[in-house]
Structure 1
C-alpha cells in the first residue's frame, strides 16, 4: 500500500489537545445510562457480591483487550471506523459502515431517554409524579397506550428532545477539541461530583444498609452458573463503548506519541469504578424505599427505565431532601447520556467527513438533521417508548454484539493484523502487548462474546421479546427489531461500494519506515 504524509487532511479532521482530554472524552463515552441503571441490577441478579469476580475476569480478559484493539485501529490508521478498516484492507471497509449504521440507530433513540431525564430533573423539584410514578410516566408524561405505532405527538417529549438535538449539533459543529473535548473536560468532573453527592446522601438514608447487604452479599453458588459469566461479559462489553466504532474514532484524534495502552487501562478501570459507585448509590436508595414501603429489597429492585423513571421517583417522594436527590440523579443521567450520545453520533459524522471530504459543519448537518428528524418523528409520539424498547434490545444484541464478533474474527484470523496493531501500540505503550494479548483477542474475547450472542438469539427465538401480558405485535418486532438489525448490516456493505471523494484517502497515513514495514506485514 502506498504511503504519504497527508498531514493536511489528517489535521483537518481535528484532534484532542492532550491525552487528558482524550481520556475524559473516552470516559464520557463509556460512562453512560447503562452504568447507572443496568449494572446494579445485573450484579444483583447474578450473585450479588460474588458477581464482582466474573465481572473483573471479563474486564481483564475481554473488555480491556478489545478496547486496545479499537484504539490500535483508530490510532494506527488515523481515520473513522470505515476509513480505518479500509486502510487496513480495502475489503474490510464494510465492517466500519456496519458500525456507523448501528451508531445512527442508537443515536436516534438514545437522545429521547436524555430528553426524559431532562424533564424529570425539573419534575423532581415539586415531585410532579404524585403518588403513582408508574402511572405518571406511562400515562401523564408519555401518554402511552397499548403497544403499537401512532403519529400522536407528545409535546412534553418533543420540546426537550428538540433541545437535546440542538445542544448536540452545537457541540459537534464546534469540533473535536472545542466541542467534544471541552464538553467532556467540563461535564465528567461535574458528573463525578453530582453522582458522588447522590451516593453520599443515599448512604445516610434509613435502610441504606439493607440495600447494600442485598447487593453485595455474595451468592457463591452463582459462580457455577454459566449464565452469570455470560452476564458479566455482556455487561463489560456494553459498558465500555467498544466494538461499534466509538473508540476507533476517538483514538484517531489522538497525538501519535500518546500512550494508548496506559490510556485504555485508565478508561477501563474508571468506567468500572463508576459502575461500582452506581451500584452503591442505587441499592442504598432501594434499601430506603424497601424500608419505607415495608417490603423486601428484592421486591423493589429493578433496572433500566423502570429503575430510573418509576423506582427512583418513588424514592424521591419519600426521602428527606428528596428534591435534591432527584436533581442529582436525573442531572447525572442527562450528563452521562449526553457525553455518550456525542460519541455515538460523532462516529457517523467522522465517517461521512472522511468518505465525502466534507467540512465538519457540512458533515454535522448531513448527519444530525436527518437523525434528529427520525428521532422526533418516531420517539416523540405516544408509541415512542415501545419503538425505543424494541430497537434498543435488538440493535444491542444483534447489532453491536454481532459486528464485534465478526470484526474481531476478520481482523485476527482473516487479515492476521494483530502483530501489526500490537507493534503499533508497543511503540509508545507503557504496558507491552505480547502473545497474551493476541491470544485473548483471537480466542477468549470472540468466544465469550459469541456465547453471549448465541444465548441472546436462542432466548429471542424461543420467546418473542417483550412483556407477555402486553406483547408487541409481531410486525413491530419484525420491523423495529430484527429488521433494523438486518438493515444496518446491509447498509454497511452497500455504503462500502460508494467511491471515496479523495483519490488518496486510503493511502497509509504513517510514512515512517516502521509504519511501512508493519503495513507490509498486514498485507502479507
Structure 2
C-alpha cells in the first residue's frame, strides 16, 4: 500500500475542505425549515442526539476507512473486503448524478446574482421563476426547449470544477477552500446581522426557536433530525473517505471528525438565524403570520427571498447580491468535493493520469447536465434528488456500518484512529456502529418506503417515478457491480490482484 498519493498541505486545509464539502445549499435552505417544522427549539434535542450517534461516528468511520486503506471509496472498501468493492462504486455513481443537477441549481444562483443588481425578477417572483426563467413545462414527460441562460451557467460551473480539481489536492481544492469557506462564513454573518436587526426579525426568530415539546416524542421528527445530519455532512457519498485518503500518516482523525461536525452545525445555526430574521421581517411587512411566508429549498431561495429583497430598497439589493453569492460559494465547495469523489476512484482503479480523468469526468458531466437546462428540468431534479437521498445514500450508509460493524469489526478502525489521535474513542463507538446507527437507518428506510407506498412522491405519476427515480437507483447498483468486476489496472496498487 505504498503508492504515492496526493496529500493535503496542512490539516487546516483538510478540515476546511471537509467542512466546505459538508456546507452546501442544504444548510442554507433546508436546515432552517426542517428545524422550524419539527418542533423549533425542541428539534435541537434529536438534532444533537443525531450528531453524536450518527454524524460523528460515521465521520470517524469514513475518515478512518479512507486513512487506513489509503484509497478512494472503492479502493478502501476493496482493501477492507474484496467482495465489497461494489459498495464503493455505488456512491461514486450517485455522486456523479448529484453533480449533474447540482450544476443546474448553481447556474440558477449565478443568474439570480445577476438579476439581484437591478431586481429584474420584477414584482411577481413566483411567476418569474417558473414561467419566465425556468420556462417550466406542464409535466415530467415534457422535456421542453433549451433554456440558454441556464446552460451558460451550467457550463461555467463545470469549467470551475475542472479548473480547481485539475490543479490537484494541495494546489486546487485546498487553496480554493481556504478562500471560499471563510468568505462564505463572513458573508453569512453580515446577512445574519442585518437580518436580525430588521423590523419584525424577533417574530421570525421566536417562531424558529420556540420549542414545541410535543414533537420530541414523534418518531418522524427523529427521522428528520437524522436525515438532516446525514445529508448535511456529505456522508455515504464517497467524499469523506476520498478526502481522508489524502491525509499524512500522522493525523488526528477523531478530533477532525468532531471539528467537521461542529463547524457544519454552527454554520447551519447561523443560516437559520439569518433566514428566519428575514422571514420575520417579511411577515411583518405583509401583516401575516410567519407560518405563511415560510418555505424551503428552491422556493425559499428563488421565490420567497426575491420578494423580501423587493420590499427592502437599497438593502434588498445588497442582501440579494450577498445571498446569491453565498449560494454560489456554498455550492462550489460541495460540487468540487463531488467532482473529486467521482474522479479519484477511476484514477485508483485504472491508473489513468489525474488530469485526463478530471477532464473526461467534467466533459461527460457537462453533457449529462444539458438535460437540466431544459424546461422539464425541475421535475427531473425533484424526483432524482428525492430517490438518491432517501434510498441511494441511506442504503449505502447502512451497508457501510454493517460492513464495518459486523464483517470487518469496528475495533479495527477504532484502534487505527486512536493510535494517531490526541483523544481516544471508547467502545461506545463500536456499539454505535454495530447497533444504533444501523437501527436508525433501517427505520428511516422503512419510513421512506411506507410513505412512498401510501402516497407516491410529489404526486407524480408512477411512470415518472420509475423513469427518473427508481431507475437512478438501479443504474447506481448495476453500474457499481459491473465496474467492480473489472481488474485493477493501476500498477501502484499491488495488493488487490494477488
Give the TM-score of the pair, scaled to structure 1.
Answer: 0.93
**What corresponds to 1:445 in structure 2?**
437
CA contact (8 A) 2:282 2:293 kept: yes
**What corresponds to 2:52 in structure 1?**
60
Provide the rounded CA distance (Å) in 1 between the counterparts of 2:414 and 2:433.
Answer: 11
**CA deviation string 1:59-115 (max 9, x = no partner):** 011110000000000000111100011111111101000111111111101111111
Confirm or deny that 1:97 pairs with 2:85: no
1:491 Cα deviation after fit: 1.1
* Runs of 5+ unmatched residues, structure 2: none
**What corresponds to 2:302 in structure 1?**
309
CA contact (8 A) 1:61 1:445 kept: yes
Which ranges of 4 or more aligned residues in structure 1 deviate by more than 6 Å? none
Provide the rounded CA distance (Å) in 1 between the counterparts of 2:144 and 2:306.
Answer: 28
Confirm or deny that 1:351 pairs with 2:345: yes
**CA deviation string 1:219-240 (max 9, x = no partner):** 1111111111111111111111
Query: How is 1:166-177 mapped onto 2 (pairs within 5 angstroms)?
Result: 166-177=159-170
Q: 2:318 aligns with which of 324, 328, 343?
A: 324
Provide the rounded CA distance (Å) in 1 between the counterparts of 2:122 and 2:379.
Answer: 24
Query: How is 1:114-193 mapped onto 2 (pairs within 5 angstroms)?
Result: 114-148=106-140, 149-193=142-186
**What corresponds to 2:465 in structure 1?**
477
CA contact (8 A) 2:137 2:143 kept: no
Provide the rounded CA distance (Å) in 1 between the counterparts of 2:150 and 2:42.
Answer: 40
1:246 Cα deviation after fit: 0.6
* Runs of 5+ unmatched residues, structure 1: 509-524
**What corresponds to 1:515 in structure 2?**
none
**What corresponds to 1:499 in structure 2?**
487
Query: How is 1:359-508 mapped onto 2 (pairs within 5 angstroms)?
Result: 359-376=353-370, 378-416=371-409, 418-466=410-458, 468=459, 472-502=460-490, 505=493, 507=495
**What corresponds to 1:260 in structure 2?**
253
Equivalenced residue count is: 494
**What corresponds to 1:245 in structure 2?**
238
CA contact (8 A) 1:117 1:334 kept: yes
Confirm or deny that 1:286 pairs with 2:279: yes
1:414 Cα deviation after fit: 2.3
Provide the rounded CA distance (Å) in 2 between the counterparts of 1:481 and 1:213.
Answer: 38
Provide the rounded CA distance (Å) in 1 between the counterparts of 2:292 and 2:427.
Answer: 47
**What corresponds to 1:296 in structure 2?**
289
Provide the rounded CA distance (Å) in 2 between the counterparts of 1:506 and 1:488.
Answer: 27
Provide the rounded CA distance (Å) in 2 between the counterparts of 1:23 and 1:338.
Answer: 16
Provide the rounded CA distance (Å) in 1 between the counterparts of 2:229 and 2:422.
Answer: 23
Q: Which region of structure 1 is more displaced relative to structure 2, 426-435 or 271-280? A: 426-435
**CA deviation string 1:253-300 (max 9, x = no partner):** 111101011111111000000001111000001001111111100011
CA contact (8 A) 2:401 2:438 kept: yes
**CA deviation string 1:389-434 (max 9, x = no partner):** 1111111111101111012112211232x11111110111122122
Provide the rounded CA distance (Å) in 2 between the counterparts of 1:103 and 1:145.
Answer: 27
Provide the rounded CA distance (Å) in 2 between the counterparts of 1:437 and 1:459.
Answer: 31
1:504 Cα deviation after fit: 5.7
1:503 Cα deviation after fit: 5.2
> What secondary structure is seen at the aligned counterpart in 2 of 1:126?
coil
CA contact (8 A) 2:137 2:144 kept: no
Provide the rounded CA distance (Å) in 2 between the counterparts of 1:113 and 1:506.
Answer: 41
